[in-house]
Every structure is written in C-alpha cells, then in structure tokens.
Amino acid sequence: MTSQNSGNRKSRLPEAPATRPAESLKQDILRHVLYSLGRDTERPDRQTVFRALALSLRDRLVEKWIASQRDIYSRSSKRVYYLSLEFLPGPFLRENLIALGLENEAREALTDMGFGLDDVADEEYEPGLGNGGLGRLASCYLDSMATLRLPAYGYGIHYAYGIFYQLIKEGRQVERADNWLRGGTHWEFERSHYVHPVRFYGQVREWVDEQGRLRHSLENATTVMAMACDMFIPGHKNDYVLNMRLWAAKTSREFEFSFFNTGDYIGAVEEKIRDENISMVLYPNDEAPEGKELRLKQQFFLVSATIQDIVRRFRKKGIAWDQLPRKNVIHLNETHPAVAIPELMRILVDEELLTWEEAWYICVRTFAYTNHTVLPEALEVWPEDLFRRLLPRHLQIIHEINRRFLHDVRRQFPNDPNILGRVSLVHEGESRWVRMSHLAIVGSFSVNGVSAHHSEILKESVFHDFYKIFPERFNNKTNGITPRRWLRQCNPTLAWLITEHIGPEWLTDLAQLKKLEPYVNSEGFHRAWMEVRLRNKHKLAEYIRDKNGITVMPESLFDVHVKRFHEYKRQLLNVLHVIALYNRIRSSPGSVTVPRTYIFGGKAAPGYYMAKHIIRLINSVAYTINTDPRVGDLLKVVFLQNYCVTLAERIIPATDLSEQISTAGMEASGTGNMKFALNGAITIGTHDGANIEIMEHVGNENLFLFGLLSHEVNEMRSQGYNPRLFYERDSELREVLDMIAGGFFSPSEPHLFRDVVESLLNHGDRYMVLADFRSYVYRQQDAANAFMDQAAWARMSMLNTSRMGFFSSDRAVDEYAKDIWGVSGV
Ligand code: 6GP
C-alpha cells in the first residue's frame, strides 16, 4: 500500500513510511555490497554481508555523532577527555544494533537476503586493544558516557596488533600475532588529513628572548605524525554518539616534500617503518616494562597528539587559559598517560609563555587520576636516563615540579625528613627512576581507587604519605559494567525474561532489577529462570565439544575461572582443589555427589614464566582427569583458549559458580565478578576488591566468601608466614602437592611441575595459596551442597541478579561526572 492510494483510510491508519526501516536497511546493505565493497549483490558471502551491515550502521552513527557534536558545541559544555592506553570494546555489531534500536530490522533485512543475524554477527573479529580489566572498564565507561549524554571523548592508540591470540598447543600457551585489521575496518573513519606532529629526542636549547625571558625549545627532535582514527560509541537509544579517537603513527616524511626528493630512498622508507612502529603493537601487561623505550614512546605519542587536539578545540573558544579547567577535564586511566601533566605544562610555559605558577594552577585543576593496582611491580617507573633521552624537556619539567613539591612537603612536615625520599617523583638510589604514580598524584586534583576496599588500601598504605599531604584529593569510585553488553546483549533470553516481568527500564536504570524480587517466590518464574540458564549451558557445552572435543554435562555445576593469569588471581588454588576432588573420587567414589565442569580461560603475559606454567599444569590436570574412566561424568576440566570479550559473552551466561579468589588486598576491584553475578552466577570469592561490596549488596547468604582478610594476610606475613605448616597439617593438601611435585600429571617429565610446588613450600608462597586452601575447600563443599537444592540455588541466582543494580557503569560514570568531572548530560 502506498500513501497515494490510501484515500480516506489515511485518517484511520498511521501513515506507512515510504520504506520500512528493515527495507531501507536492506537497500543500504546492498548499496554497500556493491559500491563500498565492490561485490556482486546477487550472491554476497557472509563476511561481505557483515561488512556491508557494519558500514550501513556506521552511516547512521556518523549522522548522530555530528548532531551530538553540534549539541556539545552550541552549549559550550565542559568536556571530559578520557585518556587510556587501552580500550577493549569487543565486537561492535550487536551492541550498535541494540543501541540504535535496529536489531529486529536487521534480522528482517538479513532474513530477506537469506542470512541469519547471529551467523552474520559471528563474522566479526573483535579489536583486542587492551589486556584485560583496565581496558574493558574504559570501554564500559564510554558506553555509559554516551548513554548519559556526557560531552566526552575517549582517546587511545590504534594498535595494528592488539593483545596476542592465544593457542593452547600440547597444553602450553602459544602466542600468535593478532592481526585484527586484516579484513579492513568497517566501524572507523581514518582521518588521513587530520594529523598532529609528535616530537621526541633532541636537545633542549635554553635562550633569553627579547623581553628578557628565559625560554626553552627542543632542537633536532624526531617528528612522527599522529593520524586520527575515529570509532563511534552510541548511547542506548538516545540518538547520542560519542567518539573514541585512536591515534595511528605515520611517518612525518610523507607530509614533507623532501621525502620524494631524498637521495636515499630506501633509507627514507626504513625511517617510515621505524616511525610507524610506534602504534604497531599493544604491550602485554604484567611484564616489567622498564627499559621498553617503545612503550614510553607510545605513551607520549598518545598524550602529545591528544593534548594538541584538546588545546586546538579550546583555542577556538578564544577565552583565557585560566578558563581551561572550567571547560575541560582530562582523566588519566592509570599512570600510563601521566606524561600529559608535564606536556601540558610545557605547552603553557614554553609555547604560551604563562608563568610557572599560572601554568601549574591550570594543570592541577585539569587532571584526575584513577589507580587500578596496588601490586608494587605494577606501579609504573621509568629509568631517568631513558626519560632524558626520549623526552629531555619533560624530564626538566618533572624535576621542577618535584623541586617545588618537595619544598612544600618539607615545610608541611619539618619533623619527618624521610618523607621527602618516599614521596619524591624521582627515586634516588643506585639508579634513578621517575615514579609515574607520584607524578600523577601531585599533578591531579583527584585520585581514586576502583572499589571501597582498594581506595582504603591506597590511603592507608600504598599512597599513605600522599594522603597525609593531599587528603582532599583521595576518593573512591567503585567500578561498574554496562548492562547493555553484559546482560542484554550476551544473555538475550534472560534479558527478555526480565523485561517481560519488569519492563525495559532496567537497561538504563539497573537499580530497577530490584523489581524482580517479588518473583523470587513464584514457581513459574523460577522454572523459566532455570530453563534459560540451562539453555545457555547447553550452548556452551556445544561450544566446548566443538572446540575442545570434550563432552560435558549441561546439568553439572559449571564452575568458571576466567580472567588474566596471574599468581595473585590464584588459578593455582583452584586447580589444587580440583585435584583434591579428583582424589576423593578415586579413593571413595561415593563421596563426590555433585558433578562439576571446571572451565578455565585466560592469557598469561608472554614473559611471565610462572603464569604460563600454571596454564600448562591446568591442561595436564585436565588431560589426566578427563581421560580417567573412574571419573566419568563427575568431573571434567576444560581450558578454553584465547579468552577475550567474545568468549566472555559465551561463557558468563552459562556459569553457575564464579571464581573470584585473589589473595585479599591484591585485586583492586575486579569487574568479571560483577558480570557473573549480574547474570545470576553465584560467587565463590575472597574478601577482596569489589567482592566485598557485592556481598554487601546481594547478601552474605547468597555467595560464598572465604579466606584471610587483607589485614590478616599482612599480619600473617609480618609474623613470618610458614606455608610448610599448612602442608604438614593438612593431609589432603599434602597429597595434592606431592602428586604435582612427583610427576603424577606429567609422567613423561616427572620434574615438570616441581617448581610450582617449590614456589609454595620453599619460596614463601607469596600469594598465600596454602593458607587459604582449607577454607576454600570448605566453601566449595558448601557450594556443592547448595547446588543440590536446585530450588534454593535458583533463588540465590535470582537474588544475585536482582541486587546487582549498583554495579552498573552508569552509576559509576554518574559518580565520576558529579564528584570529579563536574559535568552533566547535554
Ligand atoms: C585492573 C585490576 O587488576 C582489576 O582489579 C580492576 O577491576 C580493573 O583494573 C579495572 O579497574 N588493573 C589492570 O588491568 C591494570 O593493568 C595496572 O592495572
């Protein structure tokens, strides 16, 4: 029916649009298949259809982005710049469809073309531009900033290679380059005419200008260009889109005529390759980055290009520099971009000719810093020599910041001369190091931790001196996760069930999940809830069969430990318990009544020997157990390779028990813990990071906490912790450790895992695995008992979901906006 022939029915029926959204989407897809991708529209393959759909959505995103930018500009809003060396957005297709409200239309359009939306979505290869928690948090926050319509920009690096692709070969982790760009990008705009010069190396020239001022400039610097690549982040059904701008390195020579004139053509090309290396690869974390010149270069590359962008936008306003903090806030995600502080000082003092005092006044009102770790080895430091060579002017500025800071501290604490050495921005000893966290604290008006517990630890121990100096700067912002990706998208059937009962408002106001509580006693709801969960488990079981060739029982307890591999996260504690269960099954077959499927996943930094070794141990244990006929269906152990956002989306909705078992005091927050609980998994965890707040929200009776508290960890250590005592006292533990050391799981290499046991028994067990073993085993037994009562388990599961509203990244970002940034939605 067309509108022309609708006659007088027009008044009764809503007017049909010229083309239905699904039809217009289909036309766009076909247009992109032909004109953007150069393929035949008759028989496009799935990958082509995926790309064309992505391009069709990008069209819609860019329109909304332009409109959103105009809004920000016309309101002259204060802007938030979120600087992060890592973003881990995951695949975009489903998320963008949901945000744009086009899921059904896309499904219809694709069906029309003979494709299924799920198959097409599976064609997407995610950009792994982050290591783990920190990068994923940055992406959740961008999603919330867009949903809250904040005038915000994400800034990062367009790495050509993201986090490595992990293969498990013969039980071992093998790393492969992650060439995420090989199929081209469909979501971004490369702005090849939009570049900033970034200058490294060279010498500082000091001179006196005509007005008698002492001036500094950099001579003989090497210049690399930063080119913007923009990706769009839509808010949830609010027509608002913000920008994640990622910088790619380009040689400056292409921007100079001399490139074509040079006599040394190959030399020039080599220089191009060297320059463009800057954005080539993301550094895997956990490895000591000291001395990695390229990493420091990356940090400055991001910072310099971003500050130029910020300053360019600010200049357009034509207002005085002292208004910069009123109009902008620059958020430092960890210390990785902290060189932004001396960089802004340099621009204000050296280029804009402000006095030091004027410039510093602006800086400390512009920057805010989030700390994400208390592990001493992860607190960033750089050798002073390297700094001097790469960024000579910045080092001078850091020294001057430090001189003035220490002068003030000396006056504030005249009776504590040792404090100066402790808080100095430069560690002075045999070798000299620039301490990036000290720089970040001194140069920011706000310093926050990422869970209540973590923020207290910062004040009480890690940054205690700074807390005495600047008490007003310290605050807490407990992490959050976006419910759009981590419930609506990854668990659509559960999301649908929830919406059916309480309406869709929870998607942007997660506290609404509370409204589920009255249904907790409804039998029908129980049944539906558990059916959805079981269906999710069936799907994961299929995936496991496809990928690992292992058949697992969907009805068994899915006990899941997925996250980066690090000793403090204690995957080792988990596997010790798995072995203990195995022994119980072998020695008295009736003693284990709840069948379990253990699922592990996660990457270890390529240079982290012990973490990789633990991966190998888990795979060896898995092999032994899965092939032992006495075990049957009672116990299965699965290691899923290449844990990433896409895989997390498969695993989380199918999890019964979520392992969050870090040594107390070591996990700053955790965000995986939140994703699992939101999807109705029950946590087994330590009193650490955000686990503590999860317990406060869901109720102590709806999760399984165990183990030492962080002050007990410290006390035990200071009293001289002796792991051997635990070994000697606990025969079950002893048997497990003796089996590992004796080669039970590595018969062809009996000594293979001896060093794992030695790290526990003879090298101090830094992560208190043995101290927590017994209470972990007890809590695991409680979990198994609880699982036997499926109705009670269902109740716990529903209560977890319904009480997780606090952990939305919307709440977290709203707190940042109000308490730190001083911005509101446009
Ligand atoms: C992580 C923390 O380990 C994790 O506990 C937290 O949830 C996450 O950050 C987000 O805040 N830290 C990192 O990934 C990291 O690289 C330097 O810290």
Residue 769 CA, ligand 1 centroid: distance in Å: 21
Q: What digits encode the pLDDT tens for the residues 648-682?
A: 999 999 999 999 999 999 999 999 999 999 999 99
Write down the pLDDT at residue 499.
98
312, part of any domain: yes
Helix 492-502, helix 523-548: angle, nearest 10: 170
Share of the chain above pLDDT 90, in %: 91
Question: What letter does residue 347 receive in the DSSP assignment?
Answer: I
With bands split at pLDDT 50, 70 and 90, how would you rate the model's confidence at 6? very low
Exposed e or buried b per residue across 774-801, where buried means at least 16 C-beta atoms within 10 angstroms of its C-beta: bebbebbeebbebbeeeeebbbbbbbbb
Amino acid at 83: L
Look at 233-242, 254-263, 320-329, 466-475 and tell me which has the smallest mean pLDDT.
Answer: 254-263
78 assigned to active site: no
Q: In what order do the strands lie in the sheet with 557-562?
A: 635-640, 596-601, 557-562, 657-660, 682-686, 704-706
Ligand 1 atom closest to residue 380's alpha carbon, by position in its atom list: 17
Which of 695, 686, 693 is closest to 767 using CA atoms?
686
Q: For residue 291, give every residue at least 6 positions away whose Cβ sits within 8 Å of its Cβ, in sequence order, or none.
A: 383, 386
Q: Are residues 447 and 564 in the same domain?
A: no
202, part of any domain: no
218, part of any domain: no
- The whole-number average pLDDT for the span 138-147 is 98
Tokens of 88: 């881990």
Ligand 1 atom closest to residue 131's alpha carbon, by position in its atom list: 14
User: At residue 290, does pLDDT exceed 60?
Assistant: no
737, part of any domain: yes
Share of the chain above pLDDT 70, in %: 96
Pocket test for ligand 1, best of 286, 450, 486, 809 (most atoms within 8 A of CB): 450
Ligand 1 atom closest to residue 132's alpha carbon, by position in its atom list: 14
Write down the pLDDT at residue 13.
46
569 assigned to active site: yes
> In angstroms, how far is CA 357 from the centroid of its own chain?
37
378, part of any domain: yes
Q: For residue 477, give every residue at least 6 positions away whose Cβ sits within 8 Å of its Cβ, in sequence order, or none.
A: 370, 448, 449, 450, 812, 815, 816, 819, 820
Identify the active-site residue in 297, 372, 484, 537. 372
633, part of any domain: yes
- The whole-number average pLDDT for the span 99-119 is 97
Q: Are residues 379 and 462 in the same domain?
A: yes
Q: Are residues 590 and 718 in the same domain?
A: yes
Domain boundary pick from 418, 451, 477: 477
Q: Are residues 328 and 417 in the same domain?
A: yes
671 assigned to active site: yes
Please give the span between the terminal C-alpha atoms of the chain, in angstroms, as a whole number: 40
Q: Which contacts (CB < 8 Å, 24+ apart) does range 216-221 have?
A: 216/349, 216/350, 216/393, 216/396, 217/350, 218/392, 218/393
207, part of any domain: no
Q: Are residues 470 and 560 in the same domain?
A: no
Instruction: Give dist(CA 686, CA 688) in Å, integer.
Output: 5
Question: What letter does residue 84 receive in the DSSP assignment?
Answer: -
Q: What is the DSSP string of 173-235?
A: EEEE---TTTT--SSEEEEEEEEEEEEES-EEEEEE-TTS-EEEEEES-EEEEEEEEEEEEE-
Contact 676, 652 (CB under 8 A): yes
Instruction: Give dist(CA 360, CA 407) in Å, integer.
Output: 15
Q: Any idea what the CATH number is for the domain that residue 678 is in?
A: 3.40.50.2000
Ligand 1 atom closest to residue 668's alpha carbon, by position in its atom list: 5
727, part of any domain: yes
Contact 284, 71 (CB under 8 A): no
Return the HEC string of 88-105: CCCCCHHHHHHHHCCHHH
Collapsing DSSP states into helix, strand and coil, what is residue 289? Answer: coil
Instruction: Give dist(CA 245, CA 157) in Å, integer.
Output: 8
Q: In what order do the strands lie in the sheet with 474-476?
A: 188-200, 222-234, 241-251, 152-157, 79-83, 328-333, 367-370, 446-449, 474-476
- The whole-number average pLDDT for the span 265-283 is 86
With bands split at pLDDT 50, 70 and 90, how would you rate the model's confidence at 261? low
Amino acid at 780: Q
- The torsion angles phi and psi of 224, rounded to 5 degrees, stand at -125, 145
Residue 460 CA, ligand 1 centroid: distance in Å: 19
Which H or E element spans position 305?
A: helix 293-317
Write down the pLDDT at residue 274.
85
Pocket test for ligand 1, best of 669, 686, 813, 816 (most atoms within 8 A of CB): 669
With bands split at pLDDT 50, 70 and 90, how would you rate the model's confidence at 12? very low
- The whole-number average pLDDT for the span 156-165 is 97
Residue 46 CA, ligand 1 centroid: distance in Å: 36
Which H or E element spans position 579?
A: helix 571-587
Amino acid at 822: G
Residue 445 CA, ligand 1 centroid: distance in Å: 21
Residue 171 CA, ligand 1 centroid: distance in Å: 27
Q: Are residues 461 and 579 in the same domain?
A: no
Find the residues whose C-beta lies inside 6 A of ligand 1.
132-134, 137, 285, 334, 372-373, 378, 450, 479, 667-671, 689
- Residue 309, domain extent: 293-477
Identify the active-site residue in 297, 526, 569, 613. 569
User: At residue 287, does pLDDT exceed 80?
Assistant: no
With bands split at pLDDT 50, 70 and 90, how would you rate the model's confidence at 191? very high
Contact 649, 93 (CB under 8 A): no
Asked if the interface predicted TM-score (ipTM) of this complex is over 0.95, the answer is: yes
Pocket test for ligand 1, best of 373, 447, 458 (most atoms within 8 A of CB): 373
Instruction: Give dist(CA 815, CA 191) in Å, integer.
Output: 33
Contact 566, 131 (CB under 8 A): no
Collapsing DSSP states into helix, strand and coil, what is residue 638? Answer: strand
Residue showing tokens 């890690």: 462
Which of 724, 820, 819, 705 is closest to 771 using CA atoms?
724
Which of 203, 266, 208, 255 is closest to 227 using CA atoms?
255
- Residue with the smallest CA separation from ligand 1 atom 7 is 670
Identify the active-site residue in 295, 438, 473, 675. 675
Write down the pLDDT at residue 651.
98
- The whole-number average pLDDT for the span 63-73 is 95
In this structure, the strands spanning 557-562 and 657-660 are parallel
> In angstroms, how far is CA 667 from the centroid of its own chain?
14
Break the chain down into helix, strand, coil percent, rounded to 5.
55, 15, 30
- Residue with the smallest CA separation from ligand 1 atom 13 is 134
Task: Supply the Cα-derived Rg of the chain in whole angstroms.
Answer: 28
Amino acid at 676: F
372 assigned to active site: yes
Residue 185 CA, ligand 1 centroid: distance in Å: 28
Instruction: Give dist(CA 425, CA 405) in Å, integer.
Output: 9
Write down the pLDDT at residue 584.
97
Pocket test for ligand 1, best of 142, 295, 335, 372 (most atoms within 8 A of CB): 372
Q: Are residues 564 and 465 in the same domain?
A: no
**Virtual torsion, Cα 756, 759, 761, 767, nearest 10 deg:** -110
User: At residue 41, does pLDDT exceed 80?
Assistant: yes
Average pLDDT, the chain: 95
User: At residue 301, does pLDDT exceed 70?
Assistant: yes
Tokens of 180: 């995420």
Ligand 1 atom closest to residue 662's alpha carbon, by position in its atom list: 5
Which H or E element spans position 62?
A: helix 46-75
Q: Are residues 698 and 579 in the same domain?
A: yes
Helix 731-741, helix 769-788: angle, nearest 10: 110
Structural domain total, the chain:
2
Q: What digits encode the pLDDT tens for the residues 404-451?
A: 999 999 999 999 999 999 999 999 988 999 999 999 999 999 999 999
Residue 133 CA, ligand 1 centroid: distance in Å: 5
Ligand 1 atom closest to residue 336's alpha carbon, by position in its atom list: 17
Ligand 1 atom closest to residue 667's alpha carbon, by position in its atom list: 5
Instruction: Give dist(CA 568, CA 658) in Å, integer.
Output: 16
Instruction: Give dist(CA 262, CA 533) in Å, integer.
Output: 65
Residue showing tokens 């499927």: 597
**Virtual torsion, Cα 71, 73, 75, 79, nearest 10 deg:** 100
Instruction: Give dist(CA 498, CA 155) in Å, integer.
Output: 35
825 burial via Cβ count (<10 Å: 0-12, 13-18, 19+): middle
Residue 374 CA, ligand 1 centroid: distance in Å: 9
Write down the pLDDT at residue 256.
58
Q: Are residues 465 and 350 in the same domain?
A: yes
With bands split at pLDDT 50, 70 and 90, how would you rate the model's confidence at 267? confident
Residue 131 CA, ligand 1 centroid: distance in Å: 9
Residue 670 CA, ligand 1 centroid: distance in Å: 7
Residue 139 CA, ligand 1 centroid: distance in Å: 13
Instruction: Give dist(CA 531, CA 533) in Å, integer.
Output: 5
- Residue with the smallest CA separation from ligand 1 atom 9 is 134
Instruction: Give dist(CA 661, CA 769) in Å, integer.
Output: 10
Instruction: Give dist(CA 243, CA 232) in Å, integer.
Output: 5
Residue 573 CA, ligand 1 centroid: distance in Å: 21
Instruction: Give dist(CA 798, CA 806) in Å, integer.
Output: 15
Which H or E element spans position 365?
A: helix 356-366
Q: Are residues 462 and 560 in the same domain?
A: no
With bands split at pLDDT 50, 70 and 90, how would you rate the model's confidence at 288? low
Side-chain-facing half-sphere of 512: CA atoms under 13 Å: 15
Pocket test for ligand 1, best of 134, 139, 283 (most atoms within 8 A of CB): 134
Q: What digits encode the pLDDT tens for the residues 567-585?
A: 999 999 999 999 999 999 9
Q: Are residues 453 and 565 in the same domain?
A: no
Residue 454 CA, ligand 1 centroid: distance in Å: 11
Q: Are residues 372 and 453 in the same domain?
A: yes
Residue 215 CA, ligand 1 centroid: distance in Å: 41
Interior CA angle at 205 toward 203 and 210, to 5°? Answer: 160
Instruction: Give dist(CA 511, CA 513) in Å, integer.
Output: 5
563 assigned to active site: yes
- The whole-number average pLDDT for the span 120-124 is 97
Identify the active-site residue in 671, 683, 686, 801. 671
